[in-house]
Amino acid sequence: MIRPVFEPESLPIESTGANLPQVAADRLTPAGLRTRFEQPLPWDPEPQEARLAELRDPREAAVLVPIAMRPGGLTVLLTQRADNLSNHAGQVSFPGGSREPSDPTPIAAALREAHEEVNLDPARVEVLGALPEYLTGTGFKVTPVVGLVHEPFTLAADSLEVASIFEVPLSFLMNPAHHQVRVFRWEGGERRFYAMPYPDRNAPDRIAASSLNATHFIWGATAGMLRNFYRFLLA
């Protein structure tokens, strides 16, 4: 069954994680993240967009979850994808893409893609580890690679793939109160997904009053992987 096209920003909020526990503040630091990735603590990932049995020969991909070590605290580097792309056009995403035959590991693929898309020097990335593979409804099996990005570094968007680059505080994304569950129903089915809208600090004043136009709407696979990151850090 082909799902109809919908506008995720316009769908109602079914619930949030406001009543869920907070991640300890010391885990949202470079030392805390390093320690957590060194600990094999059990935890349960969120349901994914698809099941492996539903996908025919899923295409392997990898994304980098780049956590910048800024003086004011840790931030997550995200991109707004270009509108001309065939997959997930215009959506917020992590730097990343398909794993190529020349990539020996998902980590190598994530670092290569981040360099190609936003000019992030792999030498500035301290890889901490990876979260579980995430299956998307568009047929990708994605490995999220988490890394600390050390200053100084410079970014430049590849205009063919990336419309813009922005940063969101890690503390905002790991706060479950900002995790919305939205639902889309159509004849014959329904879909629930996570969304984490973040105010666009650079939005012009004339549209600042519009939550739609002045917001980076983080949803779908990117929000799902961030939700898994929250559950991982909470364990």
What does pTM read for this prediction?
0.90
176 within some domain: yes
Residue type, 230: Y
Would 218 be classed as within a structural domain? yes
The Cα–Cα gap between 224 and 235 comes to 17
The predicted model gives 51-76 an average pLDDT of 88
pLDDT digits (tens, 9 = 90+) for 128-155: 999 999 998 788 999 999 999 999 999 9
User: Each residue of 84-97: pLDDT tens digit?
Assistant: 655 555 689 999 99
Residue 50 is assigned to a structural domain of this protein: no
45 in a structural domain: no
Closest CA to 61 of 103, 98, 88: 98
Domain CATH for 120: 3.90.79.10
The pLDDT tens digits of the residues spanning 95-123 come to: 999 999 999 999 999 999 999 999 999 99
| Structural domain boundaries enclosing 109 | 12-40+56-234
- The residue assigned the tokens 């979260």 is 131
Residue 178 lies in a domain: yes
Domain count for the chain = 1
The string of pLDDT tens digits covering residues 165-190 is 999 999 999 999 999 999 988 777 78
